[in-house]
Structure 1
């Protein structure tokens, strides 16, 4: 690989990593929501979707734009 090609590739736009969606089962979603609210981060203010398929679900987006869904499994 030529030095010129290497410099062109390294100075180009940064690649973004792929975005992921992750489902996390949780036993007490209301308690987890309160714990997140207590951190004081303005962006960490998720609601709970009680009508979500599979049980109450809370969605959080991390700094890398990955979606993390916490789902309280109902039997």
Structure 2
């Protein structure tokens, strides 16, 4: 399974995305984001070069979920 988020130590609630977010990356991305549910989250998309529809759907769903829960820092890098 492809690595979609960085494994280096980062601040709590920070998800660093990799360059290619395709169909194979959707499930791991969703799992990583869901593991942070209920806490403020920042998404660093500065390395993304290719974004597939499924990963876009995961990210949009996460944005809606966090907004509804009012735990959004509103920071996408």
TM-score, length-scaled by structure 2: 0.20
More strand by share: 1
TM-score, length-scaled by structure 1: 0.20
More helix by share: 2
Structure showing greater radius of gyration is: 1
